[in-house]
Amino acid sequence: MTHNTRKHARLGGSTSSRWLNCYGSVALCEQMPPQIAGDAAQWGTAVHEISERGLRSFLDYKLTGIPYSPAISADDEATELAESYVQCVWADVLHQSLTGKAYGIEEEVVLDEKLGMYGIVDFWCVHIDDRGKRVLTILDLKTGYHYVDVEKNEQFLFYGLALRQELQNGGKNFDILRTCIFQPRATPGPAFREASYTSKQLETWKSKFLKAAKEIYTGSTKFVAGDHCQWCAGKSVCPTYAKSISDNSSLALLEPDTFQFPKVDMIPDEVLAKLLTYKPKLEDFLDELTKYAINRAQNGTPIPGFKVVSGATRRTWIESTESVAEKLIDAGMPNPWVSKLVTITAAEKAVGKDALAGCTTTTKPSVVLVPDSDPRPALSGAKELLK
């Protein structure tokens, strides 16, 4: 089964941040038309698939000596990210050893089957550390640019509780839960991040999950806006979310008849700060509105005044590029293949960084507007970019 054909849990681990904080979102999402996966989501799914294949091959090689076959994609960035993930698992999670370790790759874990509480763990392992403590490690691969915090991450705590339940069913437990994120495309911060909990600390979270499930199944319509709204399929029609954006950004989204854009230089600084702070959420909200309208139209209930039409097309080669090349050669094109230089990362792995001395350069950085809380130093002026 491919990743994009998996069934989705009603109360899943990957959506736990949302339904744990907003009970009403579950029923709202179920009322939404089928969602169309965006390009970023499809790319992330593809990376997860090749990462899984590469990791299975690599660990089989370590266990049996069968030659390692890295997963290759036509997308260089996807291939590089997948290989980095494999090395992260080996170095940062397994500490370059499989001795005395049990592990699982892309396995389903269940917290409560009747309540639809389950999810897929990218990678987990259990081992005894040098202090004699049984450690359960969970690693999740994140392919997006949006920085995901590993501390008090509901998804990990959900998976930890489900895996603890499996261990206890087998007469075992763990002393320490180690939760890890590998997210190489997010900035600022390291790609690999981790947090830890004791098994006892999970009891409070277990109560929270079960309380939320009970509220949801008894029909609670409680809506709460927050960071968990980002991945909610129902936010484009959620009054609570729209009101929070309206209140916090000073834009009257719920009053379209009176809505107007003010002149930027006439906006007070405190309002400008709010607008800049909420700019990503406003953009995301508008994107969700567009996706919702497209889904509605494709399901036969278009929004009055709007319709979907075919966009521009472009020509691409058929999948059998070898046959295309043969045909081009027969037609008189001696060499239809265009070669390109390997990536810098691939070259460094092959020959080392020292061999690349004088072969690389860096681009000029773009100017990025960020909150004062960002750890990067502020630029004092345009001259710094010209150095």
CATH number at residue 67: 3.90.320
Q: pLDDT tens-digit profile of 261-286?
A: 667 777 778 878 888 888 888 888 88
Which of 220, 86, 194 minimizes the C-alpha distance to 138? Answer: 194
Same domain, 255 and 177: no
Q: What is the pLDDT of residues 290-334, one digit of tens each?
A: 888 888 888 888 888 888 888 777 787 887 778 888 888 999 988
CA 259 to the chain's CA centroid: 34
Residue 19 tokens, joined: 């339904």
Query: What is the rounded CA–CA span in Å between residue 78 and residue 100?
Result: 32
pLDDT of residue 8: 77
- The helix/strand count (H/E) of the chain reads as 10, 5
pLDDT tens digits for 342-366? 778 778 878 888 888 888 888 777 7
Domain interval for residue 251: 234-298
The pLDDT of residue 255 is 52
Query: Residue 385 pLDDT > 90, yes or no?
Result: no
Residues 31 and 136 occupy one common structural domain: yes
> Chain-wide mean pLDDT for the chain?
86
* Entry pTM: 0.68
Residues 103 and 210 in one domain: yes
Residue 262's pLDDT is 65
The number of folded domains in the chain is 2
Residues 190 and 240 in one domain: no
DSSP assignment of 299-350: TT-PPTT-------------S-HHHHHHHHHHTT-S------PPPHHHHHHH
- Boundary (domain end) residue, out of 162, 190, 217: 217
Residue 381 has pLDDT above 60, yes or no: no
Residue 80 is assigned to a structural domain of this protein = yes
Q: Which of 48-57, 83-92, 123-132, 296-305 has the lowest average pLDDT?
A: 296-305
Query: Do 121 and 154 sit in the same domain of this protein?
Result: yes
**Is the domain of 151 the same as that of 265?**
no
Other C-beta atoms closer than 10 Å to the C-beta of 50 total 20
Lowest mean pLDDT among 51-55, 73-77, 161-165, 363-367: 363-367
